[in-house]
Structure 1
Amino acid sequence: MRPFHPLYIIEAFTKIVPFIPVTLATMAGTVLIGGVLGLLLAVGKLSGKKGLSAAVDSYIYIVRCIPPIVLLFIVYYGLPELLKASGININDSGKWFFVITTFSVLFSATMAEVFRTSYEAVDKGQREAALASGLTEFQAFRRIVAPQALIVAIPNFTNALVKLMKEGSLSYTIGMIDVMGKGQLLIGMNQGSYGLETYIALALIYWTLTVVLEKILGTAELNLSRGKKNLAFGR
């Protein structure tokens, strides 16, 4: 059995780090598309229309029941066939297209609940007081409800983002060369050798990214909370 080589962890780390932007870009695209879709789903859920609310609940339930890797394969192999029937050819689309499509669907289901719960966490009395003071519905939402809902949403959004990053590591299974994909390539190039060292390097990279994301969003939450307190005391 080949001995463990700690120094290869550093070598693998330096070779994988340049692919961090690929992982982050994929996450950014997913957050943008999945976030917008999640917001629309939350609006549908909060609309009070039973049919629309039931449809949203069904969507969220179905998406949550499908393992990410299964949905990725369904999109990767099934979407081109589905669109081909309509005369649309996406077989030449990059791997990123299928990855972002898949994880946007998953992320939207999570964000729909994040948006809904954060909105419902804001005291309805504040909205009613804002309307009574002469503000329009939109002004009340923008000035009173949204800032408070945002503070409530940040911790859950952080968890959703970390979950997305971990689930996104499955992208290598369809040939996406991101952080995980590069790690798998290194193991393949070494004919299976230095696998443990490579996975340790990957773990360190994902751990670092998680810490940075949590720190950034935690700081944002703290600053927004301070702003809310200062506003409350009229400072």
Structure 2
Amino acid sequence: MSTPPIPGRVAVVTGASSGIGAATARALAAVGYTVALLARRIDRIEALARELGNGSIAIRADVTDRDQLVAAARRVQDELGGADVLMNNAGVMLLGPFSSKRRDDYRTMVEANLLGAITATEVFLDQLTSGSGGDLINISSVAGRTARATNGVYAATKWGINGWSESLRQELLPDVRVTLIEPGVVDTELPSHITDEATREAVQKGYDVATVTPEDVAEVIAFVLARPRHLAINEVLLRPADQLG
């Protein structure tokens, strides 16, 4: 899958310190994008910005903190001329049996996965609509289509992303193309964040058997963004070839 060079465009990637975010930043930089890397782990994204070059910058920003996102948007505008692409990738997957013991996990997922994407989009929307055509990439999940035992709140955040993305698609066309990316099992650090030990071990076993790589997902995103403006790829569901559900 080849992607033609697209120099001069600016992409903002949240959750850029690892996994799909970091891989997509590399894929976009390889075709000429300047990338603004947003994440909480500043040391990681500073190193990645140096690796990418081409004016890429690292900005410490937690998507649950609107003030940090506003400051990040100001830097992107002032230093890079504004964002052409926003990729809402930041999120956590804190699976486990539904219980009051995990109420903090539930709030964390809603605030990061759903409200974080909504807030980042609200903050950067003027930049996306002020140029020659913007793109919004929302990272959802297979869990946005199929809920399972122990993933209820995580699935709720992803179902929320799916519905919100479709509404935005209709509202923002043709100025901003909205694309929903729904990966299955991807080889990232997400399982390591699970606080319930039994669930974490069970999930990790599944990840050890069937995964695609972050680079696989990044290649798809780069392809979507490279399509001519008259074409919008609004939804992409991708799984490991041997993932059943």
Q: Which has the higher strand share?
A: 2
- Greater RCO between the two (CA within 8 Å, min separation 6)? 1
Q: Which has the higher helix share?
A: 1
- Max radius of gyration: which structure? 1
- TM-score, length-scaled by structure 2: 0.28
- TM-score, length-scaled by structure 1: 0.29
